[in-house]
Amino acid sequence: MKHPNITTLLAYCWSIDEKLLIYDYIPNGDLATAIHGKAGMISFTPLSWPVRLRIMIGLAKGLAYIHEYSPRKYVHGDLRPSNVLLGQNMEPHITNFGLGRLAKVTEESSSFQLEQITTDTSSLQNSPYVQRAASSIAAAAPCYKAPEASKVARPSQKSDVYSFGVIMLEMISAKMPFSRVGSEEIDLVEWFQISIEERKPIIDVLDRFLAPDVDMEEEIVTVMNVALACVARAPERRPSMRCVCDNLARLA
């Protein structure tokens, strides 16, 4: 599959001892780090609202291609910020697409790993997004899974839409997928729903680094409403990714 917002497989090696997938080096780390930073970072530059919106639009286009425009109508099944890499101009590249099936094939291995490979292997350890994941990489993190995921054997396109919606809410609020309210932990979707029910002002749900962009409140609220539609509890109420792309493109 070839799309500007999907990592392109350059080569692979399949042998008894190891299985390698080789992609272009993508320099700006993953979306999770861009939103939250990570331990040991010397400096952290928060994303402006225009950059966040551009990432959301690119991510929507890539996922819509997987769902609608590819030779077969595929499902990603493991969409989360750590599986979105950011290019030279902070354009998003969806990665780990198709690795769910590969992980099942290799699940007898106790250390199924994914690493970014570069021509200069000495810089590998300094890469901002070297990923080393156990064989459970095939399963999406629980907080990004749709409510129906525990009841069905296979992920669906509608479950991808839900995961995309959670990522949008995370980019808007910069909150972790789980938040603590008093002595209880709630997921990000529930936190947003409570905030709306309590009629909290938009500034209370925004990432504090977006304060300079608060004059774009109308646009931010429109994006938030798209995200909330994506995380509807009933799968049939969620929009298609093509519809999401159309709605976000109007803002661009």
* Backbone CA torsion sign across 30, 220, 196, 162: negative
Residue 120 annotated to the active site: no
3-state secondary structure of 3: strand
| Separation between Cα atoms, residue 69 and residue 66, nearest integer Å | 6
Q: What number of CA atoms fall less than 13 Å from residue 70's CA on the CB side?
A: 18
Q: Rounded to the nearest 5°, which phi and psi values hold at 12?
A: -145, 160
Cα distance between the two ends of the chain: 25
Q: Which of 78, 160, 187, 207 is catalytic?
A: 78
Q: Answer positive or negative: Cα dihedral of 107, 108, 114, 120.
A: negative
Cα 237 from Cα 232, distance rounded (Å)? 6
How far apart CA 137 and CA 114 sit, in angstroms, is 9
Which among 123, 131, 165, 132 has a CA at the least distance from the CA of 146?
165
Q: Any idea which residues carry the catalytic annotation?
A: 78
